[in-house]
Structure 1
Amino acid sequence: MADEATAAEAQPSPAVGGRSGRPLSAAFVRTVTAPGKYHDGGGLGLLLRVEPTGSKRWVQRLTIGHRRREIGLGSPPVVTLAMAREAALANARLARDGVDPVGERRRARETLSFAQAVDRHLSSKLDEFSNAKHRAQWRSTLDSYAGPVIGALPVAQIAVADVLRVLQPIWATRTETASRLRGRIEAVLSWATVAGHRTGDNPARWKGNLDHLLPKPAKIARSGNQPALALADTPRWFAAVAQRPGAASLALRFAALTAARSGEVRGALWSEIDPEARVWTVPAERMKAGRAHRVPLTAPALAIIEAARSLPAGRAPLIFPAPSGVALSDMALSAVMRRVHAAATTDGDPGFVDPRSGRPAVPHGLRSTFRDWAAEGGYERDMAEIALAHTVGSAVERAYRRSDMLERRRSMMSAWAGLLTGAPSTAAAVPLRGRQ
């Protein structure tokens, strides 16, 4: 009984117009069920209204000029306590200047596009990202997939059908990316609702919405692994890619030779290459695990780096830049693979497909092909996992492991390069000039 009394005392008074003097907490907002009006305090006029049905909604009471207004700010849990406070503060500032927030929101809904909403949402959320890489990933995903489809649409007009036009083309083939994209679209539209740029349900919400229209990510039969090349096809595929000019083709071959992730290759800098040691060191901030990763460079990999000097933007800090000097997009490497596959499917040839799923291979699947090759070749498991920059062993084991097996991995990567290029494996160096 004492615990119940203490809990009751901790809750703000539900009486209409009553004020406890204490601000609401996120836990209270989540758990309160008793009907009433719960004031947040702080002078913003924000309160949580709980209906007898159990539904909850945020309301703000403001005086604008001589007129008292009640403004709806959405409902938990979509609109959190922090989001409601942020919107209430923005409204209070407008009211102080004699501006009606409701009218302002109505005007904003008529003009703000999704692309503009992305800009504004991200500008307010930058501090929540742990590093620049996460910020870039957030932005890149929205720009690459959502921007071309709904970027120009007013956020007030975006409906479920528009979100589906973004997600459906990649839902079955790039399920993890599509799932993250959906969450990011939902976050942007949720911000737009709280900020007054749209009303109604969030069309990107999963539960009770898109889950009725799209298969659950975990249930998509073919989404387990990224489609990988069959080992028998790797020399033919590598030769086909080598016939294509441009930075994306070079980067794709370099990714295959190093078993690196696409993002690590696309962001590779000349300053990360040690020509004497024949090593590429990817700094921690560009690695998924947050640790620097050394990659031994075989003769074919060094030859590709040399070839990159002749690219149009060869003076850029990036090794594989786009013609404008900026980093290649993830779609650039995927496009090369699609074109190579399409060109190979003539005359009844199946092209370059995953032997398990039958789907066309994608850049990330090259890492799976390498891992299969290493396992079949009898290479030590830890050495292959380190080559993929995976976390190996427990925290204690990692603390005592001083070596990253660089030279042993060099021999393994040389043999892998021999398979790709169809040449005898060799670790011999290709003369690599210093940066001009």
Structure 2
Amino acid sequence: MQCIEKDTQVKSFLKTGKSKEKIKVAGVPGLYLVKNTETEGVWEFTRMRDKQRFHFMRRYPKCSLSQARSIFNDYNLKIDRGDPYETISPRHLQAEKKKKIVEGVKIDSLIVHYFEEREERLQKSKTNKNPDRELMALQARYKKYLRDEIGELFPSQLTTEVAIRVLSQIRNSDSTRSKVQALFSDIKRWAIRTNRLSIEAAPINWEMVHEVLPRSICAPQKHPACKVEDIPELVKLIYEFNPHEVFKSGAYALLFVILTGVRVGCLLEPDSQVCGEGEDWFAHWKEVDLKQAIWHIPAQYLKESQNGAMDIPLSKQAVFILKKQKELIYSLMGNQAIEGDSFLFPSTQFGRVNRINRPMKASSLKGILRRVDEKQKALGLEGFRDRFTGKMITTHGFRSTLTDWAEKEGFNSDLVEIQLHHRIKGVRGHYLRDPQIERRREMLERWGDYCFSLLSLNKDIS
């Protein structure tokens, strides 16, 4: 079939043609039928006159073949006659009026609709364990950095100049600048997607923005990390921490984080309780194979979920800690707490019904580090401090400590990057796909030996 001449050919084309395939309509220059489904399509009309493009559409079967011929033949006569673009299609004129009305609404009046749509995207993406918390952070960011600057503007006024003005006021954190830029850019893209701003609106020249922005006056904030030479002493203190059984689970979780170098978010819940589908995205016993000494982490548990799932080789010290954890939880909570679907490090807040089937809070580890530090100070010692800032160490900082140790021991930096679940940049990262399980196992075994070097547990661990 080369072109459509009658109704039966329309139905035959829709039934047999491929999706988005189009066919010419006989007798009407510039008119085509584009297939959507087996029963629906779009009449698409395109003509050029004096370098000006005329483009109009109607839907089939709402608009029949005879109606489409009548409408678009009339458009052809007006185009050949030289009529102005805006007078050819009344629908086009109405759309332009509606667009002007929509574009005339200020951003502060639109922002509620933006955050509603952003919330839907966060829920659908399934890459964030706590989308409600992320939405609150975005709303706070808009209120603090953007509302005073762009709230009274129209979407069409979101220009490069405005972007420079907004970001120039943020000079104490490159990270904050980057997040505000992302929000600013997303608001403009949303305005285009929802027809509140013309797609032809001038894009923001971010290269120019970055060229003229003043440099940040503060160095990038890094998580305070334990010195490599202090790790054995710290591990000894954590392992021997607190005689009360109920607190031992937190100590085991902290040791497991140190030995594996994982982000705490893979294991433990943030301070605000996670709800919805993401509430189960924390380590379970079913994901650990103690015989093979492998811990499988599904992609959704990870911060960089787009990098895919991850397998962590467990050193003999990490396996030892998990066995001790299993014994402890069994004695405190019974056999049901170590079944496959149970969390690896469950909450120890037994008095609260809604916490029994939840993972431990990440703040528990901070509390242990703080108590260990206070104990050191009570003995007149310096405690465990970051080498450069002098601040108390953090759980995330152990990833930096592992990196420093591996560098000193001569391990390939790629092994550390894979273990930390970082994306290796450049062409090398694109082609390097082997997870290097055994080479990472060797690295983590030596790291575990170093961490436990002050503990007399060789018989128990082996």
Q: Which interval holds the TM-score relative to the shorter structure?
A: 0.5 to 0.7
Cα offset for 1:132? 2.6
Which segments of 5 or more consecutive residues in structure 2 lack a partner in the other structure? 1-47, 56-84, 149-169, 187-213, 269-281, 349-354
Given that 2:232 and 2:454 are in contact with CA atoms closer than 8 Å, whether structure 1 keeps it comes out as no
Taking a change above 3 Å as real, the CA distance of residues 298 and 355 of structure 1, as seen in their structure-2 partners, is: same
Query: 1:181-237 CA deviation, whole Å, 9 max, x = no partner?
Result: 9999xx9xxxxxxxxxxxxxxxxxxxxxxxxxxxx99543361x2110011111121
Cα offset for 1:280? 0.7
Cα offset for 1:416? 0.8
Secondary structure, aligned partner of 1:271:
helix
Residue 350, structure 1, aligned to residue 344, structure 2: no
Cα offset for 1:336? 2.5
Cα offset for 1:378? 0.9
Taking a change above 3 Å as real, the CA distance of residues 240 and 396 of structure 1, as seen in their structure-2 partners, is: closer
- Counterparts of residues 318-337 of structure 1 (less than 5 Å): 318-323=343-348, 324=355, 325-337=357-369
- Counterparts of residues 217-228 of structure 1 (less than 5 Å): 218-221=216-219, 223=221, 225-228=222-225
Cα offset for 1:174? 11
- The structure carrying a bigger helix percent of its residues is 2
Cα offset for 1:392? 2.5
Taking a change above 3 Å as real, the CA distance of residues 278 and 174 of structure 1, as seen in their structure-2 partners, is: farther
Query: 1:98-157 CA deviation, whole Å, 9 max, x = no partner?
Result: xxxxxxxxxxxxxxxxxxxxxxx67972334563341x24334678x99xxx9xxxx9xx
The one-letter code sitting in structure 2 at the alignment partner of 1:318 is: F
Secondary structure, aligned partner of 1:40:
helix
Given that 1:231 and 1:369 are in contact with CA atoms closer than 8 Å, whether structure 2 keeps it comes out as yes
Query: 1:234-262 CA deviation, whole Å, 9 max, x = no partner?
Result: 11211222214243322111010001111
Taking a change above 3 Å as real, the CA distance of residues 142 and 351 of structure 1, as seen in their structure-2 partners, is: farther
Cα offset for 1:394? 3.6
Which segments of 5 or more consecutive residues in structure 1 lack a partner in the other structure? 25-37, 49-56, 59-73, 88-120, 161-170, 188-215, 432-436
Which residue does the alignment assign to 2:395? 363
Secondary structure, aligned partner of 1:345:
helix
Taking a change above 3 Å as real, the CA distance of residues 337 and 329 of structure 1, as seen in their structure-2 partners, is: same
Taking a change above 3 Å as real, the CA distance of residues 331 and 426 of structure 1, as seen in their structure-2 partners, is: closer
The one-letter code sitting in structure 1 at the alignment partner of 2:285 is: W
- Counterparts of residues 125-274 of structure 1 (less than 5 Å): 125-129=119-123, 131-134=125-128, 136-140=129-133, 218-221=216-219, 223=221, 225-242=222-239, 243-244=241-242, 245-266=247-268, 267-274=282-289
The whole-number CA distance in structure 2 between the counterparts of 1:248 and 1:172 is 38
Which residue does the alignment assign to 2:413? 381
Cα offset for 1:318? 1.0
Given that 1:298 and 1:427 are in contact with CA atoms closer than 8 Å, whether structure 2 keeps it comes out as no
Secondary structure, aligned partner of 1:280:
strand
The whole-number CA distance in structure 2 between the counterparts of 1:260 and 1:218 is 30
Which residue does the alignment assign to 2:323? 306
Taking a change above 3 Å as real, the CA distance of residues 182 and 349 of structure 1, as seen in their structure-2 partners, is: farther
The one-letter code sitting in structure 1 at the alignment partner of 2:437 is: L
RMSD, aligned CA:
4.9
Query: 1:29-55 CA deviation, whole Å, 9 max, x = no partner?
Result: xxxxxxxxx6338xxxx544xxxxxxx
Given that 2:295 and 2:313 are in contact with CA atoms closer than 8 Å, whether structure 1 keeps it comes out as yes
Which residue does the alignment assign to 2:274? none
> TM-score, normalization: structure 2?
0.52
Query: 1:271-310 CA deviation, whole Å, 9 max, x = no partner?
Result: 1111221111112222214312111111211122112222
Cα offset for 1:414? 1.1
Aligned residues: 300
Which residue does the alignment assign to 2:443? 412
Given that 2:172 and 2:216 are in contact with CA atoms closer than 8 Å, whether structure 1 keeps it comes out as no
Structure of higher CA gyration radius? 2
The 10-residue stretch of structure 1 (285-294 or 263-272) with the greater mean CA deviation from structure 2? 285-294
Taking a change above 3 Å as real, the CA distance of residues 381 and 47 of structure 1, as seen in their structure-2 partners, is: closer
